[in-house]
Amino acid sequence: MAGRPRVGVLALQGDVREHAALLAQLGADVQLVRRPDELTGVDGLVIPGGESSVIDKLSRTFGMQEPIRHAISHGLPVLGTCAGLILLADAVLDSIEGQETFGGLDVVVRRNAFGRQVESFETELHVPAFGPPSVSATFIRGPVVETVGADATALAALPDGRVVAVEQGNLLGLSFHPEITGETRFHERFLRRVEARVQRQ
């Protein structure tokens, strides 16, 4: 269909299908992205949850790291969830040796901040930018944002004050998995940026 935004989902590892299904439900034309030539054809990109160190290594193996960094620096809208937030962060605590990120978000995140997968949990988050109702958020070995830099803005935090959602310009990073609970508002916020960029071009 003409006029539908073409959104890529980085399909190297992680919960790719869940994001693809939610984006399609919201009216996007979804492209799975594994190679640089597939990245050039999209208007926005989702980096899914999974294992950040594995996605990092595979992005380098498949020649995707530099093209993604270039796209981010040139304004491509990107949504990163869980591992995707780690990969968007400028700095990572508790990373494995040699782990790299795409960068772009002026934040410091802590990898696996909530412990092992068996310690996964769900909670309700108040997101002032959305208003009511609250967001049902699922955390699976997720990161937390330890430091929000001057260029980034916190969107949501846990009751103890730990930041779990941030945005900066064309980038949106979440510690949790809205695609699992069917929460659509973050993806809608991302798609509005995609559509705005398409209109400007």
Q: Tens place of pLDDT for every residue, the chain, 201 residues?
A: 446 899 999 999 999 999 999 999 999 999 999 999 999 999 999 999 999 999 999 999 999 999 999 999 999 999 999 999 999 999 999 999 999 999 999 999 999 887 666 567 899 999 999 999 999 999 988 899 999 999 999 999 998 999 999 999 999 999 999 999 889 999 999 999 999 999 988
Whether residue 61 lies inside any domain: the answer is: yes
Amino acid present at 16: V
Number of domains in the chain: 1
Q: Active-site residue among 18, 19, 82, 183?
A: 82
Whether residue 128 lies inside any domain: the answer is: yes
3-class DSSP assignment, residue 54: helix
Which domain does 81 fall in, by range? 6-200
pTM of the model: 0.95
Catalytic site residue 126? no
Taking the C-alpha atoms of residue 162 and residue 121, their distance in angstroms, rounded to an integer, is: 15
Residue 4's pLDDT is: 85
Catalytic site residue 179? yes
Catalytic site residue 74? no
Taking the C-alpha atoms of residue 170 and residue 72, their distance in angstroms, rounded to an integer, is: 8
Whether residue 87 lies inside any domain: the answer is: yes
Q: Active-site residue among 18, 19, 167, 179?
A: 179
CATH code of 93's domain: 3.40.50.880
Whether residue 1 lies inside any domain: the answer is: no
Q: Active-site residue among 18, 19, 177, 195?
A: 177
Amino acid present at 87: L
